[in-house]
Amino acid sequence: MTTNRSSASLLILALMLTAMPGAGRAQTPSADQPAASIANPAIWPKVRARPARDPAIEKKIDALLAAMSIEDKVAQIIQVDIGSIKPADVVTYKLGSILNGGNSGPYDDEYASPAKWLQLADEFYDASMTRSDGRPKIPIIWGTDSVHGNNNIVGATLFPHNIGLGAARNRDLIRQIGQVTALETAAAGLDWTFAPTLAVVQDDRWGRTYESYSEEPQIAADYAGAMIEGVQGKVGTKEFLAPDHLIATTKHFLGDGGTGGRDQGDTRVPETVLRDVHLGGYPAAIEAGTQSVMASFSSWNGEKMSGNKSLLTGVLKERMGFDGFVVGDWNSHGQVKGCSNEDCPQAINAGLDMFMYSGPGWKQLYDNTLAEAKAGTIPPARLDDAVRRILRVKLRAGTFDRGRPSSRAFAAKFDVIASPQHRAIAREAVRESLVLLKNDGVLPLKPAANILVAGAAADSISQQAGGWSITWQGADLPNTAFPNATSIWKGIAQTVKAGGGTATYAPDGTFTAKPDAAIVVFGEQPYAEFKGDVPNLEYSPGDKSDLALLRRLKAAGIPVVAVFLSGRPLWVNAEMNASDAFVAAFLPGSEGGGVADVLFAGADGKPAHDFRGKLSFSWPKRPDQYVLNRRDAGYDPLFAFGYGLSYAAPGKVAQLDETRPAGMAEATPGVFFGKGRVPTGWSIDTQMVTQGGVDRRAQEDARRFVWDGKASGRVAMAAPRAINLARESNGEISLVFEYRVDTKANGPVALGIESGDKTVSVPIGNTLGRAAPGEWTRMAVPLQCFASRGADMSAITAPFVLSTNGPLTISISDVKLDYVSMPMNACGD
């Protein structure tokens, strides 16, 4: 149970723990560090870390360290996103690593072919090995988020996200998935994956819930070793870090699943809960030989993990014996007290071994860190320890011996990417991850029947794959971005055709001849962190079109099978009542055919495959049950942890209560204006501007604003209280609005955000001037643009302010936060 206690209780507990023998040895806390955020390593488990150190490797490291300059050492502890650096830079700056962020592709191409990934890997490798000064040549390593397959590369096999795999309860399958992911990533020349995620999510509002195997730490513990062995190979065998494997990362250490449903939040729990719940699979991962651990963006009791020495050094390295290296998470060091993205010796001194940096200022980070290493702010022993750990992993992984990425044993074997064998494993994973929540006798369907398939999601591979699929957020991608994938609709069509039946796809559910049954596929749109955080677990608040479709088909006397796509359990009582069968499919990935495998009987009328999935997260009976874990007091789910019907073990579901709790928030996070209105409690404040309703997609779903040019005027969408957009700014989120210029401006126009009485703006007049009058278009301005101009992103009172002193008529239909791939420094005109 994630129990919140008063700050006084936490302080008393921490003082008691730190008074124990051996407590606090890892850290002399700063004066302003909360006492409750200082761990006592003595109460944490000891772990048999593997592999054992190899004296021959340690001797090589000694020789390398002796020959390296301080400049070389500092460069090794910095990793930079490929969107911010070129191979030519690495000729001068011998960085330890590069990464591709969720939207960084080779040569600025998110859809680059595997051959292009390999080509760029060669270029960075060559640059790292180019030197003539006699100092050691140390290969650079490339890290990537292969979190459900090699999901950044077009055409790769995409597995179900972890929430679905948690429902499968199959360690052998997890190991196979790790092996396939490693091979398909190695084929493109990459060395290292930032996976697996071992978060034990306790509040399902978090937008990364689907990256967690379960609310229960035991499932993470059961899976961690298997996934690490799949990705890296088994310690003690010739497979360990062989060329067809990768360096694995166990993340995010520690407590990322306990932040109250908010990304980069604060896990406010006693140390015993942090240990007993959130440590989860880490001991198993360390015993299986994980070679890197990623520090969490989040805090524990007020202290950022990237600066918490008691946990990074005292618990992880000293108590549990982890001897790989600790990497940060996307500028996470910049959130440590007293730090910026370009300057943070505190994180290194706390136990971070490698900065993960994105942005134009990586040379500043290098210069500042070098100056601090020379001055002793970062002690020589700490710098050497960080570099030793990085070199140890590089030597274990064979990067010094295997040459250019394209010369390695499995490089350029692109036929392994989405091979039939790999797709078969992914299809099996889909079958085993499906959880049957309800079946009033309609399943299994007969393949010889007349089947209607409805819902736009049925033929959207982007929606069934979810976030972290080609792009970071994974949204709005065409099926052509997944050339080797099968949509759920295509899988059904193939199955029905093979069975002699007829399958028809109508997204809106229309039909001419009444079908024997309808399969409706619907669910959440793709998202990742930031965008995915929600205020409660109500499915699709404000848009009940999916429910209307289900009800219409059921009212027509058609048996209705609902296939629900989601990254978390959601309140769908009404949708379940309108269905005869309801399948929680979570985010199945590229092999949509696995859904049809379980929905349909074989030629003999018997189920070809039974449902095997069991809930790894408790399912809510109310939308406000976002903290719903088996160990909680008053545990009262609709479907308990471990629930799952099957053909062999059927069950009945009674009519469910559809009453929505009064007063519950309806707002969708990050949406400031939509469907003609601002969120409840917000206001549209105008000065010297008139406004009126405009029809775009529906009646008055947009607003027209008119400046007559007689005086300076502005429109502000104001929040009822200050909102904190600091994390979104760090995460490279943009302020996005859709608009139509009805009368062009005759004067400068500015888009701004307001904090208190201060408005920070960027010019957008030229951009508006290029817009075709009368046509709807979209503009995106990165939040970083406002932050860099001095906006207090932690206390925004109006996230959208449009102003001009001349005439302008503009219609606006949507204002929201979103990720939009932007050229660097794209700040207005």
Active site positions, annotated: 329, 529
Residue pair 282/305 in contact (Cβ under 8 Å)? The answer is no
* Largest Cα–Cα separation, the chain: 80
Distance CA 73, CA 728 (A): 32
CA quadruple 369, 371, 377, 379: dihedral, nearest 10? 80
Q: How far is CA 359 from CA 392, 731, 816, 818, in A?
A: 28, 11, 23, 18
Sheet holding 749-755, edge to edge: 683-687, 713-718, 798-804, 749-755, 758-763
DSSP H helices in 380-483: 380-396, 420-433, 461-465
User: Any idea what DSSP says for residue 682?
Assistant: -
Residue owning tokens 């302020």: 735
749-755 and 798-804 strand pairing: antiparallel
Per-residue b or e along 141-163, where b marks 16 or more CB atoms closer than 10 Å to that residue's CB: bbbbbbbbbbbbbbbbbbbbbbb
Question: Structure tokens of 39?
Answer: 């761990």
Residue pair 756/797 in contact (Cβ under 8 Å)? The answer is yes
**Contacts of 368 by beta carbon, 8 Å cutoff, 6+ apart:** 342, 343
- Phi, psi of 498, rounded to the nearest 5 degrees: -65, -25
Given phi > 0 = left and psi -120 to 50 = alpha, else beta, which region is 104?
Answer: beta
Residue owning tokens 């036929």: 415
Q: Cβ of 476: how many Cβ atoms within 10 Å?
A: 13
Q: Cβ of 87: how many Cβ atoms within 10 Å?
A: 19
User: Any idea what DSSP says for residue 678?
Assistant: P
Which of these, 567, 580, 576, 661, lies nearest to 623 by C-alpha position?
661
Distance CA 592, CA 318 (A): 45
Q: Cβ of 30: how many Cβ atoms within 10 Å?
A: 12
Interior CA angle at 219 toward 214 and 224, to 5°?
110
Beta strands in 285-328 (DSSP E): 292-295, 299-300, 303-304, 325-327
Distance CA 263, CA 528 (A): 10
Which of these, 623, 481, 475, lies nearest to 541 by C-alpha position?
623
- Phi, psi of 304, rounded to the nearest 5 degrees: -60, 135
Number of H helices, E strands in the chain: 23, 28
Long-range contacts of 548-551 (CB under 8 A, 24+ apart): 549/454, 549/455, 549/508, 549/509, 549/520, 549/522, 550/520, 550/575, 550/578, 550/579, 551/578
